Amino acid sequence: MLARHRMDPRSAVGATGWELAGSRRDLSVPALEAPPRPPQDLTRRVGPAPHLLPRSLSYSQAENLLGCRQKWTYRTGLGIRPASVASVPSGNQMIGTLVHAVVEELVTARAGRGGVPSQAEITEMLDRLVPQLASELLLPGREVELTTMRETAVRSLVEFFARLSEAGLVITEVESRFEEPLRLHLERGEVEVPFTGSRDVLAEDAEGRPTVIDLKWTSAAKKYPELFDAGEALQLASYAWSLDDPRTDVGYFLLKQGEFVSANPALDPHGRPTLDIARAWGTTVSGITEALDAIGEGTVSARSGQILRDAGQDLGTPRTDAKKTYAAAQETARAEGGIVVDARCDFCDFSLLCGLRGDAS
């Protein structure tokens, strides 16, 4: 029955427009055009923009300048931000925030008492903070995920506190904010920018030598060991620079894996080389300066995306293949005394603006 009343919509279009059941509308049919090809060159070239200078710099902003100047320009230089609902922490970011808070609360609660938190204390603190910082794990159907996270986090933090104690390190501060003046020698003149941040964990040995530990909850178990071993742990270098103490030691603690990444054998038995903090920080400052000079001249590149594009890849490329492409680019840059930072275009809020994602018309 219904088949008799069906019609192809195109049959309602005539020479004078669209007509159906006594209704008429003027209609013009545009010529068919093929969608534009995505741009091969993602660099934006505009007029000089010397006014685009950071009022302050954090490590994450510095990393954007090193990895993708467009990302920094859109987010920080021009103040373009995604909607707040798009930035609600979830997944690894949410759990990382939770476990950071557990460490902070445990250290604060034991201030003046010393010693190492017990497994029961860690579990109690974690359970107390889950409703506040990871409430989605309390939803029906998430019981296994919650249990797995709890077991992993508790086991990891037991190892964290015990290993620090065995190494003779005492935590003195957690989430310690800092702001230090950073002098940049730009082509347009010398500027001083506040460099700000927060050190996850600051510890000292019996002689007062500081150690900065950055906590990471990540599934990328190889990423931070590779950065450390290559001398490219720039975030650690920035934290050490902020202390202005040549004795400073640095390291990561991988919360999901329960492992330290450090040159201190008492923390990490893998025999890693000592991070050359001065060299790593010098690389960071040099990259920031070069990026701000280029932006000031009106040349704003999307380096991470361009690496993919030049390799014939895009956001649909499997991550394993993209990582190989970045690894090759990093090796080339190292041989030339430079550095490549993977800006993770697959998670970027601005990949539509740079032309790597979607219709570039």
- pLDDT for res 9: 73
Given a contact cutoff of 8 angstroms between Cβ atoms, the answer to whether 241 and 281 are in contact is yes
pLDDT tens for residues 254-282?
999 999 999 999 999 999 999 999 999 99
Three-state SS for 77?
helix
Tally of CB atoms within 10 A around 169: 23
Given a contact cutoff of 8 angstroms between Cβ atoms, the answer to whether 107 and 157 are in contact is no
- pLDDT for res 1: 61
- pLDDT for res 359: 59
Lookup result for tokens 């640095």? 250
pLDDT tens for residues 306-360?
999 999 999 999 999 999 999 999 999 999 888 999 999 998 989 888 888 875 4
Lookup result for tokens 């990093």? 330
Helices and strands, counts by H and E, the chain: 12, 11
Q: What is the 3-state secondary structure (H, E, C) of 79-95?
A: CCCCCHHHHCCCHHHHH
For residue 67, give the nearest of 357, 346, 273, 358 by alpha carbon. 346
**What's 274's DSSP letter?**
P
User: In angstroms, how far is the first alpha carbon of the chain from the final one?
Assistant: 45
Residues in the chain: 361
**Residue 288 to residue 184: CA distance in whole angstroms:** 8
Q: b/e map of 59-79 (b: 16 or more CB within 10 Å)? A: bebbbbbbbbbbbbbbbbbee
In the chain, the DSSP E strands lie at 13-14, 17-20, 23-25, 44-45, 57-58, 170-186, 189-204, 210-216, 249-254, 259-262, 299-300
Phi–psi pair at 220, nearest 5 degrees: -85, 80
pLDDT tens track, the chain, 361 positions: 667 777 777 777 777 777 777 677 777 767 888 877 778 999 999 999 888 899 999 999 999 999 999 999 999 999 998 776 556 677 888 999 999 999 999 999 887 677 789 999 999 999 999 999 999 999 999 999 999 999 999 999 999 999 999 999 999 999 999 999 999 999 989 999 999 999 999 999 999 999 999 999 999 889 999 999 999 999 999 999 999 999 999 999 999 999 999 999 999 999 999 999 999 999 999 999 999 999 999 999 999 999 999 999 999 999 999 999 999 999 999 998 889 999 999 989 898 888 888 754 4
Cα 112 to chain centroid distance, Å, stands at 35
**Residue 197 to residue 182: CA distance in whole angstroms:** 13
Contacts of 219 (CB under 8 A, 6+ apart): 92, 256
**Residue 185 to residue 352: CA distance in whole angstroms:** 33
**What's 75's DSSP letter?**
I
**What's 256's DSSP letter?**
T
pLDDT tens for residues 147-170?
999 999 999 999 999 999 999 999
Tally of CB atoms within 10 A around 35: 8
213 forms bridges with which residues in the sheet? 201, 251
